[in-house]
Amino acid sequence: MEEHIYKKIFSKYRGSKRDSLIPLLQEIQHELGFLSKDSVARVGGLLNLPTSKIYGVATFYNQFRFQPYGKYHIQVCRGTACHVKGSANVLSALEAMLNIKAGETTRDGMFSIEVVACIGACGLAPVISINGEFHANLVPSDIEKIIGSYKNRKTLEE
C-alpha cells in the first residue's frame, strides 16, 4: 500500500528541485501520518538531497513528525482562548507525565502529543482532544486522572 502511495505522490514531483521539498513532505505526511526514515531516504533520492539536509529543513518547521501517532493521539489546543486560559501549563503537565515532547510518541506506542491551532471549542478552553474526545476547562492537575483513564481502557481491552 505504501508503495502505491509513494508512486502516486512521486509521479507529480518527477524532475522537481529542492523548492518542492516542503510540499512533498507535507503530502507524504498527509498520506502516511508521519515521515519515516524510509520516506526521507526516498525523498532524498528523488530530489537528489542528502537526508541530513532534509531532516534539517523538516525539523525547522514544527508541522512535521517523525514517529507514528500513538494509540491515543492527544491534540492540545494552543489557540488564543486556550492560551489565555493556561494551555501552556496543560501541555507541560502532559509532557511531564508522558515523558515526551509535543510531536513525539511514547516508546510503548500508547500516547502521542500534537499541538494544534483552535479546535473550535473555545467556550471550553483550555481544551484537549484525545482521539476526538474533548476534555474541557482543564487545569494541569486534571491530567493525571485523564491519562490514567486511558491507561485503564487499555488494560480493560487486553
Binding stretches for ligand FES (CB under 6 A): 77, 79-82, 118-122, 125, 127
Query: End-to-end alpha-carbon separation of the chain, Å?
Result: 28
- Identity of residue 39: S
CB-wise, 32 or 115, nearer to ligand FES?
115
Q: Alpha-carbon distance 27 to 95, whole Å? A: 28
Q: Crossing angle, helix 143-157 and helix 87-98, to 10 degrees?
A: 40
CB of residue 121 to ligand FES, shortest distance in Å: 4
CB-wise, 35 or 126, nearer to ligand FES?
126
CB-wise, 21 or 127, nearer to ligand FES?
127
Residue 57 is placed in which grid cell?
A: 529543513
CB of residue 123 to ligand FES, shortest distance in Å: 8
Which residue number has the CB closest to ligand FES?
79
CB-wise, 77 or 130, nearer to ligand FES?
77
Task: Using alpha carbons, select from 127, 144, 147, 145 the residue that is nearest to residue 135.
Answer: 127
CB of residue 85 to ligand FES, shortest distance in Å: 8
Q: Give me the residue label for grid cell 529542492.
A: 18
CB of residue 142 to ligand FES, shortest distance in Å: 16
